[in-house]
Structures are given as C-alpha cells and as structure tokens.
DNA sequence: TGTTGTTTTTAGGGTGGTCTAAAAATAACG
DNA sequence: CGTTATTTTTAGACCACCCTAAAAACAACA
C-alpha cells in the first residue's frame, strides 16, 4: 500500500511528537526542551532535533536552535484532535468492548492515528458524546474546547470532606490495577477520615463502609471532586 | 517454539503485501507473479522484488527468482487474520457507526493493522460474531475457517429464477453507489425475468415490483443466492 | 571573567521503504 | 532454432526515521 493516494500530511511519528510536546507544554507552561521531548518519547536528543526541524518546516511548531519549542496554532489543533481521538477510542474500548481501564492505552495509541472522513465525529456520536475518558481525563470537543473539571488530589482534602473519584494522574497498569483491587473505580464515593502528617498518608471510608489507608503516592495521583 | 510465541514482527507494508498475495493466489490458484503484485499494490515491480526478498527471509512466502511466490502456512495465517480484522472493522463501521458500504474500505485498511491482546475477539463478540461483511464477503473465524456461501453471479440465473443479493465482486464506490441508486442492497430479493443474449444484459423484478435492466457488467459483479 | 558542566546540535551512518533505468532471465514466435 | 518481446531482477539513489559520537552553544560559578 505504501502511500495512499492522499498522503497524510503528518506521519504517525510526527503526530506522536506533537502529542508529546503538547503534554509537556501543558505541565511546564513555557518552551519545551529537546531533552524533555527525548525523555517523553524514549528516544535520543539527536533524533528529536532532527524531527523538530521537520515539524518547524511544516509550521507545526515554533523552533529556534537551543531555545526549545512551542506548538503553533496549527500544531496545537492537531495535537488536540489527536488527544480527542485517543480518548474517544479509550471510551470505546472500555464501554463497548469491555476492556479494563488499564488495558486500553496502547490500543488507543494506534487507533488515534486512523484518519478518515467523519470517523471521529461518528464515533463520538456512537459513544454518546462522552466528556471524559475512562481515566477521568477530559475529551476536547470537535472545536478543541475542553470540559472543565473541578477536582483536587485526594490528599488535599480535610477530615470530614466527602467526594467522588473523578480521575487519576498516573496511568500505569500497576496503579490502575491497585485501585481496582481497592475498589476505587471512577465514580466511587468516599469520605476522608484522617490525615497522617508523618508520612502524608490518609485514611478514607468508601461508600460500602470499608476503611482504607492510602499512601501519599496514591493520595497525590487520585483526583476527587468534593461534594 | 520460542519462535512462534514471539510476536511476528511484520510491518504494515509487509502485511499489505501478504494480503495482496493472498487475494491474487485465491483467483489464480498458482504462483503469483511479481507484476501481478505490483499492479495490485500500485507500485513498481522493483519494489515488489525487494519486498519479496524480505518476506521470504521471514518465511512468510516461498520465493524463487523468476518463479513467482506462494504464501507459506505462516504467511497464509497472517493474511487470513488480516482479512478477518479488515472485515470485522467494516461491519463495525457500517453497523455501528452508520457508514455506507462504499465508504468503509480505506478506514478498515488502516484499522486492520491495529494489534493488541484480544482486540479482534472482543470486537467480534461485540458485533455478534458476524459471518459476512457489508459487501457480503465471508469473515474467517478465529481459527481461519471460512463460512461457505452458495452464491452465483446474477447473470447465470435463468428466467423465472428468484434470489437474494448476497454480495458483490467489485467494491468500487461507483458500483456500490449505483447499486444503492437501483435499490439493490445486500439482502434485496429479486427475480430474473429475461436474458438478452445480444449484449448479455438481464431484466429483473425487485421485491417492490420495479423492473430493471442490468448490463452484463452488473450481472457479473452482483452475487445472488438462488431461493 | 574564564572554566567547568550540561544541553543541544551536527556529522555520519543504518534500515525499511520508495523510485527509475538498465541488465538479465524467461516466454513467444517466425 | 534464433530473434524479439515481456517479465523480473539488479543497480543506484532518495526519503523518513533512527542511532552514536563529537562538536558547539549555553549556563553556572569561582
């Protein structure tokens, strides 16, 4: 097959770089460094530089030697569309095909690169226009607008506060499976009973009355909406 | 042993070659020529030769210079799995997302290369284990077995014969849209009224009583099951 | 300021895939 | 059979992407 008649303007690889840059820019709020991208993509800095030139050539990023990069408007839109596709496919895999929330990342990573007239919008409609993916991450709409979520890390709650699990900050299989084990799925209700300053761990009570002690690490990576 | 357990690293391109070879071998029943593959893949004969060496290296085809190629057992299994995926995704796109039967080929072409643990089987289950795709082509099961279809080209029927449309031999947008226009979707019932030996065209009556004259070309490319 | 250490870029090369043009093998025909 | 036509393979080059090693630029600090 090689080249289909209308060669995609951006290759899979380029798309992955854009997504990585978007993700990093989100966290740092300033120009993204070559090394940071290399780490995110698990590749060498030299390869990154190589790609940055190509992306700059296509006007998907602003790039000045030694000065880091920022996405252009076009690049940002492309990255947003990619994230939209990724998260919609994750919803599909979990809601329709019955995958667990820790199994879908790699598949969605492939599915997000499928392109074709109207596929995303039809998928969106089919899924009932979800606003969040199975990890609680927001899904931008077709115009690139993001739903806003009022959530905080679990370990910022005070004793007596009640909330609902709305998302996670870490997507590793280990963490997600651990949450499953604890019975802490998305939407689970809980109440914070006590905070232990010594090691920043917290004690909570779940909806079904079980009491759990969670480490600082879990408390940081679990998001809840206070209710 | 270990060799078989290791994921057979095949690239998208290699997979597409295997599928092309499978398709050609199906029709010709003997060794497939380099030129035939080049035509099918819309690429140069030189590129094909290049790829044939790689596929032979991986033991996916039997290849002797100037003698054409045949799939090995392994290659055949891979091609069959690809066709299974392609056709299942086509069912998904039409049945679930509401695409028309002439719009899904290119998308399925991309989706068929997505690989991951259990995806195909879950998709199959989700779709209700369909045996035929939206064009009436059979979908091999997980073990590579094909459903058998008793169908014949429309222009082999005799006056008075009645049948149901079960598939098409040509998948072009033009042909499929023409059929839509004529109201001849998969499952449409019809009766052959008359054959015109002069140009091999035929006259039929549809379920809703309309009478149509179809050219030899349509008669060859439309499959029906006599009832 | 100069020196040292880190980050980034360049240089040069490898692989998988593409191509065209030319050579070699096979097939067809007189 | 030999000659011609067709098919297939080789030769050589290019592109996208990857790498390592070395050079260049930048940052920190005595």
Predicted local distance difference test score (pLDDT) of residue A227:
86
- ipTM of the modeled complex: 0.88
Which residue is closest to D10 in terms of CA–C1' distance?
B46
Give the distance, in angstroms, between residue A54 CA and nucleotide D15 C1'. 12
**Which residue is closest to B126 within chain A, CA to CA?**
A97
> CATH no. for residue A210?
2.30.30.90
* Domain contains B36: yes
pLDDT digits (tens, 9 = 90+) for A128-144: 999 999 999 999 999 99
Query: Taking a C-beta distance cutoff of 8 angstroms, is the pair B17, B57 a contact?
Result: no
* Residue A27 confidence (pLDDT) above 90: no
* Domain contains B102: no
Predicted local distance difference test score (pLDDT) of residue B4:
33
The whole-angstrom distance between B125's CA and the closest CA on chain A is 8
- The number of beta carbons lying within 10 Å of the beta carbon of residue B104 is 26
Query: Taking a C-beta distance cutoff of 8 angstroms, is the pair B83, B19 a contact?
Result: yes
% of chain B at pLDDT higher than 90: 91
Residue B70 C-beta-side C-alpha neighbours within 13 Å: 8
* Domain contains B218: yes
Q: Are residues A54 and A104 in the same domain?
A: no
* Residue B6 confidence (pLDDT) above 70: no
Compute the distance between CA of residue B112 and CA of residue A55 in angstroms, rounded to an integer: 28
Q: Are residues A162 and A210 in the same domain?
A: yes
**Strand C footprint, Cβ within 7 Å:** A 1-3, 33-36, 45-46, 48-50, 52-53, 63, 65-68; B 11-14, 41, 43-44, 46-47, 50-51, 54, 66
Compute the distance between CA of residue A116 and CA of residue A133 in angstroms, rounded to an integer: 22
Collect all residues with Cβ–Cβ distance below 8 Å to A6 and sequence separation of at least 6.
none
Compute the distance between CA of residue B46 and CA of residue A48 in angstroms, rounded to an integer: 33
Listed residues A96, A124, A146: the one ending a domain: A146
pLDDT digits (tens, 9 = 90+) for B49-82: 999 999 999 999 999 999 999 999 999 999 999 9
* Domain contains B1: no
Q: Are residues A65 and A92 in the same domain?
A: no
- C chain positions with any atom within 7 Å of a protein CB: 7-12, 16-22, 25-26
Q: Are residues A156 and A201 in the same domain?
A: yes
Predicted local distance difference test score (pLDDT) of residue B29:
74
Q: How confident is the model at residue A68 (pLDDT cuts 50, 70, 90)?
A: very high
From the Cβ of A220, is strand D under 7 Å away?
Answer: no
H or E element: which one contains B206? strand B201-206
A97 touches chain B (CB under 8 A): yes
Compute the distance between CA of residue A81 and CA of residue A69 in angstroms, rounded to an integer: 20
Beta strands A211-214; A201-206: pairing state: antiparallel
* Residue A2 confidence (pLDDT) above 50: no
Predicted local distance difference test score (pLDDT) of residue A78:
97
Tokens, residue B208: 């809703």
What pairs with residue A206 in β-bridges? Answer: A190
> CATH no. for residue A137?
1.10.10.10
Q: Which of A97, A107, A114 sits opposite B110 (nearest CB)?
A: A114
Instruction: Look up the domain containing B164 and give its range.
Output: 152-226
Predicted local distance difference test score (pLDDT) of residue B176:
95
- Classify residue A168 as exposed, middle or buried by CB count within 10 Å of its CB (0-12, 13-18, 19+): buried
Q: What are the phi and psi torsion angles at A18 (to 5°)? A: -60, -45
Q: How confident is the model at residue B1 (pLDDT cuts 50, 70, 90)?
A: very low
Predicted local distance difference test score (pLDDT) of residue A188:
94
Q: How confident is the model at residue A5 (pLDDT cuts 50, 70, 90)?
A: very low
H or E element: which one contains B61? strand B61-63
Q: Are residues A101 and A122 in the same domain?
A: yes
Short-list B159, B171, B166, CA closest to B203: B159
* Domain contains B118: no
* Domain contains A6: no
- The number of beta carbons lying within 10 Å of the beta carbon of residue A159 is 11
Q: Are residues A186 and A222 in the same domain?
A: yes
Q: Is B101 left (phi over 0), alpha (psi -120 to 50) or beta?
A: alpha
pLDDT digits (tens, 9 = 90+) for A187-205: 999 999 999 999 999 999 9
**pLDDT mean over A82-88:** 98
Compute the distance between CA of residue A50 and CA of residue A48 in angstroms, rounded to an integer: 5
Listed residues B25, B49, B71: the one ending a domain: B71
DSSP states of A89-121 as a string? Answer: HHHIIIIIT---TTS-HHHHHHHTT---TTHHH
* Residue A3 confidence (pLDDT) above 70: no
The number of folded domains in chain B is: 2
Helices B12-28 and B73-91 sit at what angle, rounded to 10 degrees?
Answer: 100
Listed residues B50, B71, B92: the one ending a domain: B71
Q: Are residues A21 and A63 in the same domain?
A: yes
Q: What is the 3-state secondary structure (H, E, C) of A74-92?
A: HHHHHHHHHHHHHHHHHHH
pLDDT digits (tens, 9 = 90+) for B134-172: 999 999 999 999 988 889 999 999 999 999 999 999 999
* Domain contains B121: no
Predicted local distance difference test score (pLDDT) of residue B8:
53
Short-list A122, A66, A118, A58, CA closest to A92: A122
Predicted local distance difference test score (pLDDT) of residue A7:
43
**Mutation site for A-interface testing, chosen from B116, B118, B124 by largest number of A Cβ within 10 Å:** B116
Compute the distance between CA of residue A1 and CA of residue B128 in angstroms, rounded to an integer: 30
* Domain contains B81: no
pLDDT digits (tens, 9 = 90+) for A152-186: 999 999 999 999 999 999 999 999 999 999 999 99
**pLDDT mean over B80-86:** 97
């Amino acid at each position: 097959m090689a080249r289909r008649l209308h060669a995609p303007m951006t290759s899979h690889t380029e798309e992955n770089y854009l997504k990585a840059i978007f993700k990093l820019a989100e966290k740092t709020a300033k120009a993204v460094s070559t090394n940071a991208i290399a780490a995110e993509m698990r590749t060498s800095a030299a390869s990154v530089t190589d790609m940055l030139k190509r992306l700059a050539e296509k006007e998907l990023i602003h790039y000045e030697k030694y000065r880091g990069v920022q996405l252009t408007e076009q690049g940002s839109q492309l990255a947003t569309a990619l994230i939209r596709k990724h998260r919609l496919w994750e919803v599909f895999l979990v809601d329709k095909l019955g995958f667990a929330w820790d199994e879908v990342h790699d598949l969605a990573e492939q599915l997000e690169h499928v392109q074709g007239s109207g596929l995303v919008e039809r998928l969106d409609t089919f899924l009932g226009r979800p606003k969040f993916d199975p990890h609680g991450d927001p899904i931008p709409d077709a115009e690139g607008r993001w739903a806003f979520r009022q959530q905080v890390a679990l370990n910022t709650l005070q004793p007596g506060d009640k909330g609902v699990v709305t998302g996670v900050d870490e997507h590793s299989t280990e963490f997600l499976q651990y949450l499953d084990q604890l019975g802490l799925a998305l939407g689970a209700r809980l109440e914070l009973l006590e905070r232990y300053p010594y090691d920043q761990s917290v004690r909570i009570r779940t909806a079904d009355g079980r009491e759990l002690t969670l480490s600082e690490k879990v408390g940081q990576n679990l998001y809840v909406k206070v209710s």
